[in-house]
Amino acid sequence: NFIFACLLFILSPCRLFHGCNRLLTSQIISYYDSVNRCEKELPEYFNFASDVLDKWLQLEKDGRRPANPAFWWVNDEGEEVKWSFEELGFLSRKTANILSETCGLQRGDRVIAVLPRVPEWWLLNVACMRAGIVFIPGTSQLTAKDILYRLQASKAKCIVTNDTLAPAVESVMSECRFLKTKLIVAKGSRDGWLNLKELFAVTSADHKCVKTRSRDPMLIYFTSGSTGSPKMVVHSHGSYGIGFATSGRYWMNLTPSDIMWNTSDTGWVKAAWSSVFAPWINGSCVFVHSLPEFKPATLSRYPITTFCTAPTAYRMLVQHCLSSYKFMSLKHCLSGGEALNPEVMEQWKIQTGLDIYEGYGQTETVTICANMKGMKIKPGSLGKAVPPYDVQIIDDHGTVVPVGKEGNIAIRVQPERPFCMFSEYMDNPEKTAACMSGNFYVTGDRGIMDEEGYVWFVGRSDDIINSSGYRIGPFEVESALIQHPAVMESAVVSSPDPIRGEVVKAFIVLAPAFVSHDPEKLTQDLQQHVKKVTAPYKYPRKVEFVQALPKTATGKIQRKVLRNKEWGKA
């Protein structure tokens, strides 16, 4: 309790200090949840490793956390890694020493990590917090050219990767004058690289966590927009470290006895959201499966309580016969990354008895909107604004539009910018300024707010179709199409038309039972179907059946690729 007293003393003024020797586990999350909701002030100093993880470590030692690992990693060969908060603390302190002492990195330096889902990725993440080093995760798909761009733009002094990507790094190294150290996560050694696994054996676990300010940079993500080179999105310790307290509690519904599995790759923000910050802030277990493909059997084999994946995976799952699996422990399902079609939610509910709680956010933000536990779920909506965000729908001049009207989904940043939001696009003040409109940060997504404050996704601004002056969002047409049994998945984009300028075109992946049907007849059926279930002007005048849709590594449909093809652009 003395530790907590000191901690709270550091964290905030004396009103909190009062009575804190009776601090309970639940108060860790409650405190940060209150900060997150702006009911309490953002502490000046905050470090997720010392203020959250090390506190759980203490609670675990005191027997005040249920017996539940902090981290649980499995692969398909039956290998398993299970760490308590104590082990996570021990290993991440070693890793912090490797970064600071062996690699000679200083506070504020940057480290790029391009790794698959290996336990070391989590250690590096926490070690960087401990040493005050800025962590930059990269995705597995990076080529030598991408790595070069990232190393140059970020001025990273160290890169961590594995045998597969090491040659790509070596091929561009001479052009990266900031790069000092290369760390490899591999069984054997490699010339010019320090081996992380070998260093563990000879490095001390004595490390004192640096005292970081809440507003100091902690993480950088590269994000590609529709134009230009990828931008560097900077998040502070407070932004991601505290910013998920509220969504972790009310959207993900996490407690210290829960085991959360998210299928996301380590290179994407979603891994930070739901495989680091949201579960750990409430002392839950982070579950990781190393395989890139998702298998429903994992959900029945392990006692996973909380599951999150992308809509594309749910769309595939409901095509399986899920009744042959028993998801004994599963109690809460989440979806994000892309809008989820209501039909898929319904099918999931029928087959598993569980609702899917959808949430929405961006690399630049924490959870913007979510269907939180206890709220009425409106299938097809993104839910309501998550505190402290004030989410509004605005026009192109920054003015809030009336309820029910389509506009830009935006977050109020004036008079006060929420702390749990990106600080800037690094070295890019023009782009940083360009996403502001009046008093708002503009997400680039279009939506509608209903009278109860639920936000309905219409589409990415660039994806909206303008047919004879009618504005049509792809999501609604896709959601209508998927209600038809023949449709497994679809992507709706604009296509040129001599009279209307643009028309709606649907690319459709057929359900297996329908692939041999007559395409002309099917086209007509589908057009009739859409006219019936939504406003008739939205029906796809053009239909093309395809084997698969172009997707990003996180499973988002790349409508842009299809649209460019339609318009004859490269």
- Binding residues for ligand NAG (CB under 6 A): 25-26, 29, 115-116, 140, 162-165, 249, 253-256, 262-264, 270, 273-274, 282, 308-310, 334, 336-337, 466, 468-469, 501, 554
Residue with tokens 């990590």: 113
Rounded to the nearest 10 degrees, the angle between the axes of helix 2-11 and helix 54-61 is 160
Residue with tokens 């090390």: 54
User: Would you give the DSSP letter of residue 462?
Assistant: G
Taking the complex as a whole, how short is the minimal distance between the CB of residue 290 and ligand NAG, in angstroms? 9
Separation between Cα atoms, residue 507 and residue 481, nearest integer Å = 10
Give the residue among 526, 488, 564 at the shortest CA–CA distance from 312: 488
Residue with tokens 């539940």: 68
Which C-beta is closer to ligand NAG: that of 355 or that of 525?
Answer: 355
Give the residue among 292, 232, 357 at the shortest CA–CA distance from 555: 292
User: Following CA atoms 215, 216, 219, 222 in sequence, which dihedral angle do they give, to the nearest 10 degrees?
Assistant: 80
Which C-beta is closer to ligand NAG: that of 238 or that of 311?
Answer: 311
Which C-beta is closer to ligand NAG: that of 29 or that of 410?
Answer: 29
Taking the complex as a whole, how short is the minimal distance between the CB of residue 516 and ligand NAG, in angstroms? 32
Taking the complex as a whole, how short is the minimal distance between the CB of residue 189 and ligand NAG, in angstroms? 14
Residue nearest to ligand NAG (CB): 337
Separation between Cα atoms, residue 366 and residue 393, nearest integer Å = 18
Which C-beta is closer to ligand NAG: that of 132 or that of 311?
Answer: 311
User: Following CA atoms 408, 411, 417, 421 in sequence, which dihedral angle do they give, to the nearest 10 degrees?
Assistant: -100
Q: For residues 43 and 214, is the Cβ–Cβ distance under 8 A?
A: yes
Which C-beta is closer to ligand NAG: that of 64 or that of 177?
Answer: 64
Which C-beta is closer to ligand NAG: that of 146 or that of 216?
Answer: 146
Q: For residues 482 and 445, is the Cβ–Cβ distance under 8 A?
A: no
Taking the complex as a whole, how short is the minimal distance between the CB of residue 199 and ligand NAG, in angstroms? 18
Residue with tokens 């449709």: 487
Q: For residues 112 and 160, is the Cβ–Cβ distance under 8 A?
A: yes
Taking the complex as a whole, how short is the minimal distance between the CB of residue 206 and ligand NAG, in angstroms? 29
Which C-beta is closer to ligand NAG: that of 331 or that of 542?
Answer: 331
Taking the complex as a whole, how short is the minimal distance between the CB of residue 216 and ligand NAG, in angstroms? 24
- Ramachandran region, residue 297 (left: φ > 0; alpha: ψ -120 to 50; beta: rest): alpha
Taking the complex as a whole, how short is the minimal distance between the CB of residue 87 and ligand NAG, in angstroms? 20
Which C-beta is closer to ligand NAG: that of 100 or that of 352?
Answer: 352
Taking the complex as a whole, how short is the minimal distance between the CB of residue 238 and ligand NAG, in angstroms? 19
Separation between Cα atoms, residue 413 and residue 439, nearest integer Å = 6
Separation between Cα atoms, residue 202 and residue 455, nearest integer Å = 53
Q: For residues 299 and 307, is the Cβ–Cβ distance under 8 A?
A: yes
Which C-beta is closer to ligand NAG: that of 92 or that of 306?
Answer: 306
Question: Starting from the edge strand earliest in sequence, which strands make up the sheet with 542-545, in order?
Answer: 487-497, 501-510, 542-545
Taking the complex as a whole, how short is the minimal distance between the CB of residue 520 and ligand NAG, in angstroms? 29
